[in-house]
Amino acid sequence: MKVCIAEKPSVAREIAAVLGASTKRDGYFEGNGYAVTYTFGHLCTLKEPADYKPYWKSWDLNNLPMLPEKFEIKVSNNDGIKKQFKIVKSLFDKAEVVINCGDAGQEGELIQRWVLNEANYKGKVQRLWISSLTTEAIKEGFQNLKPSEDYDNLYYAGFSRSIGDWLLGINATRLYTVKHGGYKQVLSVGRVQTPTLAMLVNRFKEIENFKPQPYWELQTTYRDTVFNYEEGRFLKMEDGEILAKKVKECEFEIVSITKKKGTEYAPKLFDLTGLQVYCNTKFGMSADDTLKAAQRLYEQKAISYPRVDTTFLPDDVYPKVKSILSKLTDYSELTSPLLDKKIKKSAKVFNDRKVTDHHAIIPTGMQISMQHGDQKVYNAVVKRFISVFYDDCKVSNTVVIGKAADVNFKTTGKEILSPGWRVVFGSGTSKTENLLPTFTKGEKGPHKPSFLEKQTKPPNQFTEASLLRAMETAGKQVDDEELRDIMKENGIGRPSTRANIIETLFRRKYIKRNKKQILPTVTGIQLIDTIQNELLKSAELTGTWEKQLKDIEKGEYSAAAFIASMKRMVDALVYEVRTEKVTSRISAVNNKPAGKSKTQTKLKSSKTIVGTACPKCKNGQLVKGKSAYGCHLYGTSCDFTLPFKFENKKISENQLLRLLSKGSTVNLKGFKINKQTIEGLLRFDENFKLKLEPKKSVMINKTNENNPCPKCKKGTIIKGKTAYGCSDYKLGCDFRYPFDLLFEKAKGQKLTKELAYKIMGQ
């Protein structure tokens, strides 16, 4: 009998259906000479400290470091897992060959090898290695089974990773908890999670300690087009003022016009990190949610294996592309132009040298019904796949140089000549980006220079998307896709584990979300401040470990050497920390994002109105005058002003900033109209002039509270979570008016209670 072992019951069911093993048994499927069984993820795990030496159970500094001579595994202590392991072992005992059908990756290899080792199976083992769960892929995989020995290095790398995490995680966590932890506070330290937390803390502190520096920009407006001083910003105001006065006295002349045709290539296919970054940026999905959605889509045969770190396809996928595209009938409007001609084959998509175990994430052509979150992920994968077979986008880039008094200014524009792949994403319809007027070399005319004071801004707090990119490049800011590909081998963690690392930091209350931002908590900051050993916090060192694990996988580095170096590091760390002086202990606290109010205050103070985009014309920037802020295009194409005072009341800069960002101030006291003092808030009218909205009288609201139900006339209108309804709904009145419908009927008017009751009463 041939025994197949998969990683999940659902995967085993798919394989069994293809092999004809249609009889369901307890813990496996049987039929046609096959038994298809499964694990539930990790059936086996590394032994715990107390399994090696009973006294290692105690959290005591004298027991550290804990360095087992030989690492051993055991069956997880769970009744369901123990039962399944017995079933698997009994099948192995009768097997003529075992076919490892675990997930085709490092973790999948490790899970099944541990089961094989713990079951003491000594027979022949073959490996099924597939990138999707379609019937076609499973059949092809069984026709091309590989010897298990081909994947020994993959197993050694996975085993080394687990041992490294055990050595550092268990020893360092106990070490810092006993030495620096307060009452009931476990200080969790890990090979990947600690450098990740350190990146977040360092960025947070960088922003908190940031001091904005002023700089100045010289611009001029000629024929409604903004030209910037060619040599950039000024760090000294006086340097720029000299040139600003100089150019005011001369006409502006067009010196040169350069048009250069260019090509924009389609975005690369998704690897897992790229997909997580895209879904976080576009839909606000967490990395963990994206991974789970992608895994579901893979198990439903809709996409290829998602836990990958390449954006390329091997050459042998090219012949299958047309078939996949033809099956994507829901996207026929996009695929039909491709199916009428030969499919493009680009080296930016197909490259055997850039593909190892798996290729980039692509659709399989299987169309299924799916939940909303999964649909968004699937749509992203499909559109990215379709786009790479479209023509490149052709553009014309224009650079215009002008001068006034021998001071050079520059502006740029772009025209889309042929949208190409952009039509897939709905961005091919706009033919221009910053379309310029037709300039002629040598033409002259009046211009309006402006000298703007601006301030440097702090870096942004990490979002989940930017944190994933930082983990991918070991903390280095890398925007270039080619360079990022080169640095992937030195990233922190693996694509498949990064989401879990971030979720672990959330669970341990070392970080918290603030909308899209990820901020460290008080405990998270205290932990990083307490760890004096820079190696533990080093993103680059962790990246080096990842590179060594990759080299083990390739057979270029020894697993024994990796484990020995980890043991030496742990030994040195224990010695170092035991001799540290304890100044304070870290206790469990209310883990709100650290220093939130202080940071927000600093960030707010670093925001200024000067340099903000004009809310009216959107092209200009706000500058400060004697009695008001105004658009720097004032007098040419825009008349926007924002006075310091309104109706005899001075408006603070913070309130003006709020007005610009949120559309209104808060209720303010002290406006004087017709000798009366009025309280209210400021908004812009349709012409972007200030208008005062007096504070509503409380009496009006109270009377409106008792509006009778327009249907039964007995009850009164009450407000629910998604709609207004009748207070007598329990007596049978089914009046209901959804909020969505109210907003629709309001037709852009501000929806006050008075307006709402008026609409419902009609």
348-377 pLDDT, tens digit each: 999 988 887 789 999 999 988 888 889 999
Q: Quote the pTM value.
A: 0.71
SS3 710: coil
- Specify the DSSP element, H or E, that contains 131: none
Question: Region 272-291: what's the mean pLDDT?
Answer: 93
Say if CB 441 and CB 254 are below 8 A apart: yes
pLDDT single digits (tens) 223-262: 989 999 999 899 999 888 899 999 998 999 999 999 999 9
Question: In the chain, how many H helices and how many E strands?
Answer: 25, 30
Q: What is the DSSP letter of 644?
A: S
Tokens of 730: 């329990």
At 602, the pLDDT band (50, 70, 90 cuts) reads very low
CA 456 from centroid of its chain's CA atoms: 25
Please give the sequence-ordered ranges of beta strands (E in DSSP) within 246-369, or none if there are none: 252-264
CB distance 432 to 252 below 8 Å: no
Cα 593 to chain center, whole Å?
A: 19
Closest to 179 measured CA to CA, from 587, 588, 583, 578: 578
At 387 the pLDDT is: 95
| Whether pLDDT at 483 is above 70 | no
Amino acid at 99: I
Rounding to the nearest 10 degrees, give the CA dihedral for residues 152, 157, 162, 167.
Answer: 120
Using CA atoms, how far apart are residues 68 and 398, in angstroms rounded to an integer?
A: 67
Confidence band, pLDDT 50/70/90 cuts, at residue 486 = very low
Distance of CA 689 to the CA centre of its chain: 39
Give the DSSP letter of residue 465.
H
Instruction: Provide the terminal-to-terminal Cα distance of the chain, rounded to the nearest Å.
Output: 76
Residue 77: pLDDT over 50: yes
Chain mean pLDDT for the chain? 87
What's the pLDDT tens digit per position in 433-455? 677 888 999 999 999 999 988 89
Reply yes or no on whether 305 is catalytic: yes
Burial of 14 (0-12, 13-18, 19+ CB in 10 A): buried
pLDDT by residue (tens digit) across 385-423?
999 999 999 999 999 999 999 899 999 998 888 999 999
Cβ(102)–Cβ(5) below 8 Å: yes
CB 229 within 8 A of CB 219: yes
Q: What is the rounded CA–CA span in Å between residue 426 and residue 184?
A: 54
Residue 489: pLDDT band with limits 50, 70, 90 = low
- Owner of token pair 């006075």: 643
Percent of the chain residues topping a pLDDT of 90? 54
The answer to whether 276 touches 497, Cβ cutoff 8 Å, is no
Q: Which of 58-67, 145-154, 501-510, 621-630 has the lowest mean pLDDT?
A: 621-630
Contact 29, 5 (CB under 8 A): no
Strand 645-646 relative to strand 641-643: parallel, antiparallel, unpaired? unpaired
For the segment 730-752, what is each residue's pLDDT rounded down to a tens digit?
777 888 888 777 777 777 677 77
What secondary structure letter does DSSP report for 102? S
- Confidence class of residue 628 from pLDDT cuts 50, 70 and 90? confident
Q: Between residues 294 and 696, which one has the greater pLDDT?
A: 294
Q: Are 752 and 707 in contact (CB under 8 A)?
A: no
The mean pLDDT value for 662-668 works out to 87
Q: Which of 305, 378, 557, 724 is catalytic?
A: 305
Q: What's the CA gap between 81 and 84, in Å, rounded?
A: 5
Angle between helices 522-530 and 193-208 (to 10 degrees): 110
Residue 494 scores a pLDDT above 50: yes
Is the confidence at residue 603, as pLDDT, over 50? no
pLDDT at 203: 94
Beta bridge partners of 394: 263, 418
Q: Report the relative pairing of strands 124-127 and 97-101 from DSSP bridges.
A: parallel
**DSSP state string for 137-181:** HHHHHHHT-EEGGGGHHHHHHHHHHHHHHHHHHHHHHHHHHHHHB
CA distance 727 to 736: 11
Confidence of residue 600 (pLDDT cuts 50, 70, 90): very low
**For residue 480, how many other CB atoms are within 10 A of its CB?**
9
Other C-beta atoms closer than 10 Å to the C-beta of 55 total 10
Mean pLDDT of 573-595: 71
